[in-house]
Amino acid sequence: PSMILQPLVENAIRHGIAPKVEGGTIVLRVARDKGRLVVEVIDDGVGIPDERRSEIYESGIGISNVRERLKVLYGQLFSLKIESNPGHGTTIRFEIPELIAPGKAGKAAPVEAAS
């Protein structure tokens, strides 16, 4: 449900906007893959400096909040991956079990949005 995904995606996007380079882009991609929902937040901003990478999971930081929410909601059934290239941007990708009410499943194409 959107109430579950909204804070996760919002937190990931907020992290991409905070150090945003003027004119930068944030892309949100959502897709289904083998019974899983795949969400990617991709920015072309400043990236995460190598010396700060060990801090990204510390308490109080947006990525830490995303990881903790995923743990609470999905236990060991989620994955979270962060790829960052300093000076070129960051990709945050998480996968969760796809939960669709019986009879509600339809074919959905991946969605891509930029701001």
CATH of the domain at 60: 3.30.565.10
Residues 6+ apart with CB under 8 A from 100: none
pLDDT at 32 over 90: yes
27: left (phi over 0), alpha (psi -120 to 50) or beta: beta
Residues 6+ apart with CB under 8 A from 71: 78
For residues 15 and 92, is the Cβ–Cβ distance under 8 A?
yes
Residues 6+ apart with CB under 8 A from 7: 69
For the residues 10-36, what does the mean pLDDT come to?
78
Domain assignment of residue 56, given as a range? 2-114
How many independent structural domains does the chain possess? 1
For the residues 85-98, what does the mean pLDDT come to?
90
Rounded Cα–Cα distance for residues 2 and 18 (Å): 23
In the sheet where 89-97 sits, what is the strand order?
79-85, 89-97, 36-43, 26-33, 111-114
For the residues 36-50, what does the mean pLDDT come to?
88
For the residues 50-63, what does the mean pLDDT come to?
77
pLDDT for 109 equals 47
* pTM of the complete model: 0.72
